[in-house]
Structure 1
């Protein structure tokens, strides 16, 4: 039976959801790893920031050598997810912080052959009108990234090792599903090769760079929020009600990041098709700015109030994510669109390392009440860039400037 594009989307999204559980699999057990690996404050943050660093390296290698264009994209995804599962399992047997951080770096490299490859596979299945499909894929990424917090709810009473085993098992299932259950698309997607010689053209394209600046502001906030919001929720709940269980804090994190993010991703794609991508990014960036500034005022207050702001933040912080790469695809010439997309992704994830590393230091200085205000800098600058892009109205990228 011939596979439909919506059936393919289901399996692609589910595969990505399972594979992305590797991203924060170590972060959710950081309390145990601090003791086992004797982590300092800076090395604790490296457990999370080493993953995007590996992702950057993997994305550059993949794009520079055109791996997804030379080989079957489904098989690349499956192999990467399988290697990610194995590498993640090595955390079970290491007692060294250096080796542990190195394993997280290698996990990031494997994930660079998962998420971007999934986007490429999806693009082949949806050559046109892929707004909703991309929204669903971003929702899967968000749910997958938050999935370890949900796993903790059920395994928090047993050894931390079961959480690593669970996330690795999910990544293994992702490899099997992508290899066996997703068919090759009837049409080929465009090549996305990276070239250093074409970077100059990317930098000279004003609409592309405005979209990039918006994306950089978005990434300044996104992964730092995903990384440190769970710690904030735990500390806030404990201050308000010291008897609060850790499983409740983990469930609140999954609710605020995963469920809220999935809703935001799908709604963002749907609304962008109605009012225009630039307008949607401005709304999402504005909403996340307000939430970043407000969340600190809920610290130690009623649980429902903290959760309400956290949930709204989870919706807004990811709702615009897919629109920035869409902007680059529409404004960049075919000759260098692959270079432009790779440049955007690599710089964006490099920025996440800065904020992930900075937040724990700032928290010791200003406390949980004010630390997330630091993240509002990114979306504020992003709003300025996207407003300039929206007002440009030069006739190109019509769906973006709608």
Structure 2
């Protein structure tokens, strides 16, 4: 029995809703320069606020995974409730922005509810696209990448738009994204029935199933590099640029990940998700190793290096999620993806804290190559799936 065609509106709605919902991620980061000027906060406040949201996301993904929220409750409903709750938390952050302790709490809560947006959006896509999932997730995670990179574009615009407008606008956009998805996308035909019990054995497939373990460990290597690269890019650009020009360039470098996500998804239809993920992970790792030379290269080569890195550092993420979703137990895809995200973001926080602390003492050209450890270990873990795809295509 062949899968009925997916209605054309489903993927655009999923992409728009994912972009709108995940824009909450860096809503405060985008207006931090204004808040620092008005409230006298130190630069370190930005790192603390970012870590607060990341810890909230880790806590949320752990709770959602262990309680199998996305597998026991209709994913559309989870997405809607979390988008509205995340928007409300951003409004709360705006209302209490002068109280730094309260702001930390609001950002933690925002991260918690993002656990019901990003992984749950992937679960919904996996239900609709039993075929071509890599391409669908390429666009979906591309929306996340663009939404995250938009913080730099918002920062560049902050001189013309007041910070309350930016924060409230992001909150409204997230709420509308949740409503749009709930109203316009129904339950996928043939979707696996929702479970009524906790799926401890299914969660254990992260280490008991060789195929799931291979994609998950590859993803963890990717996460060692990804968000630390995003944090370091403005510091790298600051060696040549400043002001709005720096912010716009950072937006284009990080936003270039959309090309890697969408283009990688298209190539994966013909080449396979494991090989696409492996090729992009290897390329981004080589970009890390090239840093000592590229940091001192002429402008054309310097910016070409950053763009290639921006394309590939994000472009493998949809294919890792595709591989995990395909190989995880069907009744627990949402929980397995969510737990994988939780562990991956924990790794990213450890990497960020380590590299940012070292950046004060070690030149960037000497520090960045150590990010390649993640891609190297990820490629080693992913290799069995790459070999399996080669043998099937051969």
Fold match (TM-score > 0.5)? yes
Say whether the 8 Å CA contact 2:218–2:320 is kept in structure 1. Answer: yes
Q: 1:360 to 1:74 in 2, by over 3 A?
A: same
Q: What is the CA-CA distance between 1:285 and the residue it aligns to?
A: 1.0
Counterparts of 2:262 and 2:23 in 1: how far apart (Å)? 20
Which residues in structure 2 correspond to 1:203-352 (within 5 Å)? Answer: 203-233=207-237, 235-238=238-241, 244=242, 246-258=243-255, 260-295=256-291, 297-299=293-295, 303-334=299-330, 340-352=336-348
Which residues in structure 2 correspond to 1:1-400 (within 5 Å)? Answer: 5-34=7-36, 36=39, 38-39=41-42, 41=44, 44-92=46-94, 93-189=96-192, 195-196=199-200, 199-233=203-237, 235-238=238-241, 244=242, 246-258=243-255, 260-295=256-291, 297-299=293-295, 303-334=299-330, 340-391=336-387, 393=388
Say whether the 8 Å CA contact 1:220–1:375 is kept in structure 2. Answer: yes
Give secondary structure in 2 for the equivalent of 1:186: coil
Counterparts of 2:359 and 2:384 in 1: how far apart (Å)? 33
Counterparts of 2:281 and 2:53 in 1: how far apart (Å)? 25
Provide TM-score, normalisation by structure 2: 0.87
Counterparts of 1:261 and 1:290 in 2: how far apart (Å)? 16
Say whether the 8 Å CA contact 1:202–1:336 is kept in structure 2. Answer: no
Q: 1:311 to 1:339 in 2, by over 3 A?
A: same
CA RMSD of aligned residues (A): 2.8
Q: Which residue of 2 aligns with 1:241?
A: none
Counterparts of 2:273 and 2:390 in 1: how far apart (Å)? 7
Give secondary structure in 2 for the equivalent of 1:236: coil
Q: For residues 253-306 of structure 1, what are the alpha-carbon distances to aligned partners after superposition, in whole Å with 9 as ceiling and x for unaligned? A: 221111x11110011112222222222222111110122233454447655443
Counterparts of 2:166 and 2:296 in 1: how far apart (Å)? 28
Q: 1:206 to 1:68 in 2, by over 3 A?
A: closer
Say whether the 8 Å CA contact 1:34–1:44 is kept in structure 2. Answer: no
Runs of 5+ consecutive residues of structure 1 not aligned to the other structure: 239-243
Q: What is the CA-CA distance between 1:374 and the residue it aligns to?
A: 2.8
Give secondary structure in 1 for the equivalent of 2:351: helix
Counterparts of 2:305 and 2:125 in 1: how far apart (Å)? 33
Say whether the 8 Å CA contact 2:224–2:347 is kept in structure 1. Answer: yes
Q: For residues 65-93 of structure 1, what are the alpha-carbon distances to aligned partners after superposition, in whole Å with 9 as ceiling and x for unaligned? A: 33334433223212211221221233333
Say whether the 8 Å CA contact 2:14–2:181 is kept in structure 1. Answer: yes
Say whether the 8 Å CA contact 2:70–2:334 is kept in structure 1. Answer: no
Counterparts of 1:105 and 1:263 in 2: how far apart (Å)? 30
Q: What is the CA-CA distance between 1:199 and the residue it aligns to?
A: 4.9
Q: 1:191 to 1:363 in 2, by over 3 A?
A: farther
Q: For residues 93-145 of structure 1, what are the alpha-carbon distances to aligned partners after superposition, in whole Å with 9 as ceiling and x for unaligned? A: 33343332222211111111111221122223223232211111111111111
Counterparts of 2:391 and 2:155 in 1: how far apart (Å)? 40
Q: What is the CA-CA distance between 1:40 and the residue it aligns to?
A: 6.5
Counterparts of 1:222 and 1:400 in 2: how far apart (Å)? 30
Counting matched residue pairs gives 386
Q: What is the CA-CA distance between 1:352 and the residue it aligns to?
A: 0.9
Say whether the 8 Å CA contact 2:87–2:171 is kept in structure 1. Answer: yes
Q: 1:384 to 1:191 in 2, by over 3 A?
A: farther
Q: 1:9 to 1:199 in 2, by over 3 A?
A: closer
Give secondary structure in 1 for the equivalent of 2:26: coil
Q: Which moved more, 1:343-352 or 1:85-94?
A: 85-94
